[in-house]
Amino acid sequence: MLFNTNQQGKVRALETPFYYYDLNLLNETLDKAKQAADRYNFHVHYALKANFNDRLLHLVQSKGFGADCVSGNEVQKSIDIGFPADKITFAGVGKSDKEILTALEHHIFAFNVESIQEMEVINSLAAQVGVTAHVSLRINPNVDAHTHHYITTGLDENKFGVPTSELEKAASIIRQCQNVELIGLHFHVGSQITDMNVFKSLCVKVNEWKNWFEERGTAIKILNVGGGLGVDYQNPDENPIPNFEAYFEIFDKFLERNKNQEVHFELGRALVAQCGTLVSKVLYTKSGVKKHFLILDAGMTELMRPALYQAYHKIEYIGESNNRTINYDVVGPICESSDCFGKEVPLPESKRGDLIAIRTAGAYGEVMASRYNLRDEIRYVYNDMLID
């Protein structure tokens, strides 16, 4: 049960919609991930794009994780929160000059470079400010993550990374850049990956390209294999924490490492998804000829994922219910037909004012919220706020 009876009373008194964060679950998840990674001396950078709520970030930082950023503002946010600069990576296919200069100013650990042209721009800007930029070259490994095509990033037709056909040219240009030092290779094949065989395939590609560079006299200190570990959206209570042990063991077994070669990861969703829930109230119930609707006060402005790529989230009724179940289309108030959280969802017969929970919303929920339709900014509540 998401809330006990006492907590339900407190929740009913709160203005909805809001994000509810279980910091106890987040703390346990972070501890298990850190323990599993430390067993192999692996380094984990938390991907801020999943959730940059301040309290969550402070807890992540306190555990000793690094930060994986995809914008200049995320780099600055990481610094402000207290992440050490030498644990911050900066990825993304479209880094602006301003963002690159922000990262250079803070002397971050590494840029994950995604094109030859970007490499040349970083080199030029680093020369202007008199520093040497550490970079990891992101290689597109052409590994199918077997996930939704909107969150697949490692295929040849994706916009991410340097295609293997350009690696010879990239290696040559890197040698010519006086203000760039290549320290590593970076790979990321996609998100919400639950098939561990995908990571085995990734290891094969990483080994191949690591050897390719080393055979040409380029030492590789860092192997950054990205993230992508999925979570169980269907059964959040039964599987609240991903199997980090099995995940890291795959890379320990199949990744070829030289002595003193570091392996880095960029996990986001796997760390924060299950600790977050979107809580909403029923505004209206509505029945058509063949349909029953629950119209909530939360919509795609609060949780974009279902509208953006048909993502599934478990939808639950909060409180005591009668024995009658109705299949509802659970929708929001936004003036778009795509504003739907789920179709034919079996729920207890509901009425105006009832509470509904949309689970596993701690990743790509609050951070993607918008003011479309001039909606209020989304609020958030933490578990310790519901304690007497």
Residues 123 and 37 in one domain: yes
Residues 88 and 159 in one domain: yes
The rounded mean pLDDT for the chain is 94
Residues 128 and 68 in one domain: yes
> Do residues 186 and 149 lie in contact, with contact meaning Cβ atoms separated by under 8 Å?
no
Q: Which of 273, 297, 323 lies at the terminal end of a domain, its last residue?
A: 273
Q: If we measure between CA atoms, which residue out of 263, 121, 254 comes closest to residue 185?
A: 263
More confident call, 144 vs 152: 144
Quick one: average pLDDT of 8-36? Answer: 97
Rg of the chain's alpha carbons, rounded to an integer? Answer: 22
Quick one: average pLDDT of 136-146? Answer: 77
pLDDT in tens, 234-289: 999 999 999 999 999 999 999 999 989 999 999 999 999 999 999 999 999 999 88
pTM of the model: 0.94
Residues 259 and 191 in one domain: yes
pLDDT in tens, 327-346: 999 999 999 999 999 999 99
3-state secondary structure of 220: coil
Lowest mean pLDDT among 2-16, 138-152, 253-267, 281-295: 138-152
Residue 154 has pLDDT above 60, yes or no: no
Residues 253 and 300 in one domain: no
pLDDT of residue 158: 63
Residues 253 and 151 in one domain: yes
Residues 115 and 84 in one domain: yes
- CATH code at 320? 2.40.37.10
Residues 257 and 331 in one domain: no
Mark 8-34 as b/e (b = at least 16 C-beta within 10 Å).
Answer: beebeebebbbbbbbeebbeebbebbb
Q: Which of 257, 273, 289 lies at the terminal end of a domain, its last residue?
A: 273
Domain with 161 in it: 23-273
pLDDT of residue 380: 96
Residues 154 and 228 in one domain: yes
Residues 175 and 246 in one domain: yes
Residue 149 has pLDDT above 60, yes or no: no
Residues 73 and 55 in one domain: yes
- Chain centre to alpha carbon of residue 316: 23
Structural domains counted in the chain: 2
Split at pLDDT 50, 70, 90, the class of 164 is: confident
Rounded to 5 degrees, what angle do the CA atoms 370, 383, 325 make? 75
Residues 244 and 324 in one domain: no
